[in-house]
Amino acid sequence: MQLFYTTSVENGIIQLTDEEARHVTVLRKKVGDTLQVLDGKGNLFNAELFKISKHECQLLVLSTQQMPTSHVEVSIGIAPTKNMDRFEWFLEKATEIGINHIYPLLCKHSERDSIRLDRLSKILVSAMKQSKHYFLPNLYEMITLEQYLRQTEHMEMGQRFVAHCADTPKKILAKNYQKGKNVTILIGPEGDFNTSEIQDATHAGYEPVSLGNYRLRTETAGVVACHTIQLLNDL
Q: In tens digits, what is the pLDDT along the chain, a chain of 235 residues?
A: 789 999 999 999 999 998 999 999 999 999 999 999 999 999 999 999 999 988 899 999 999 999 998 889 999 999 999 999 999 999 999 999 999 999 999 999 999 999 999 999 999 999 999 999 999 999 999 999 999 999 999 999 999 999 999 999 999 999 999 999 999 999 999 999 999 999 999 999 999 999 998 899 999 999 999 999 999 999 8
- Residue positions counted in the chain: 235
Q: Both 52 and 103 in a single domain?
A: no
Q: Both 192 and 87 in a single domain?
A: yes
Of the candidates 19, 36, 66, which is a domain's last residue? 66
**Helix pair angle (218-234, 84-97), 10° resolution:** 0
Distance CA 70, CA 86 (A): 27
Residue numbers of the domain that contains 30: 3-66
The tens digit of pLDDT for each residue in 57-66 reads 999 999 999 9
Q: Both 62 and 80 in a single domain?
A: no
Distance CA 219, CA 86 (A): 6
**Three-class DSSP labels, the chain:** CCEEECCEEECCEEEEEHHHHHHHHHCCCCCCCEEEEECCECEEEEEEEEEECCCEEEEEEEEEEECCCCCCCEEEEECCCCCHHHHHHHHHHHHHHCCCEEEEEECCCCCCCCCCHHHHHHHHHHHHHHCCCCECCEECCCEEHHHHHHHCCCCCCCEEEEECCCCCCCEEHHHHCCCCCCEEEEECCCCCCCHHHHHHHHHCCCEEEECCCCCCCHHHHHHHHHHHHHHHHHC
Share of the chain above pLDDT 70, in %: 100
Q: Both 11 and 97 in a single domain?
A: no
Q: Both 26 and 118 in a single domain?
A: no
The CATH number that applies at residue 207 is 3.40.1280.10
Q: Both 182 and 215 in a single domain?
A: yes
The CATH number that applies at residue 58 is 2.40.240.20
**What is the number of structural domains in the chain?**
2
